[in-house]
Amino acid sequence: MIFYRAYHRPLALTFDLDDTLYNNKPVLQKAEQAMLDFLHLHYAATQSTDLAFWHEIKRLALFERPALHNDMGELRRVVLRRGLLHCGYQGVALEHAIDSTFEYFYDSRSQFKVDKNICSLLARLAEKLPLVAITNGNVDLQKIGIAEYFRFSLHASLSQPMKPHAAMFNLAARQLDLAPQDILHIGDNLYNDVLGALQAGYQAAWYAANRNMQLTQEPGLLLPHVQLHELSELLQLV
């Protein structure tokens, strides 16, 4: 590990999930293809659509309503509504198609298990101090096998903006009844996680599960307290 700032042992840990505990890109790619296959199978009018069609609708939705960046679930519903309307669905048929497709995507998005070594590490850490999940995404912790290790989890939403906004960091500190400086946040993103944590008064650890970690190759404004080479190094920090 590499220390960049003065560090003291924390009283709680908060974790980012996607790309910190597992590689999220192939999970999302698989889920998006599964959603498209589901649409083609159950809603014949969508059979002429492809992933590029849905990605363009997403791009336009975010351009028109930037706040949707804060809520992946609501964004998914908006995209489904616009795409299905374009394909001719209306009324009850439209609402049913949105609901069923959203549920299928959400289930597909959480159809994997976190590596057993990561689960073992989380279990050991949870014996020492409370763990909290703080994520901009919407993965189902129960389905991926890690819910039992966390006291609670916080997900970004329209009313609770995504990291690096301080909202979820502040809420976690209040619910833990701890001063922010006594919490260490672990995440892969130097902007969302490290900058967000530092601005909220937390300590920050940088670790990415999905790529080589090189500061010169990452968009970031501030250095973390510590850079981890292996997530298991957390055991030495607590």
pLDDT of residue 234: 97
Is the pLDDT at 218 greater than 90? The verdict is no
pLDDT of residue 1: 93
**Mean pLDDT value of segment 73-98:** 96
Query: Model confidence at 110, in pLDDT bands (50, 70, 90)?
Result: very high
- Structural domains for the chain: 2-22+113-237 (3.40.50.1000), 26-109 (1.20.120.1600)
Query: Model confidence at 222, in pLDDT bands (50, 70, 90)?
Result: confident
Q: What pLDDT, in 10s, does the model give residues 122-137?
A: 999 999 999 999 999 9
Sheet containing 2-3: order of strands: 2-3, 226-227, 203-206, 183-187, 12-15, 131-135, 152-155
CB atoms within 10 A of CB 44: 10
Query: Model confidence at 147, in pLDDT bands (50, 70, 90)?
Result: very high
pLDDT of residue 220: 75
Q: Please give the mean pLDDT across all residues of the chain.
A: 95
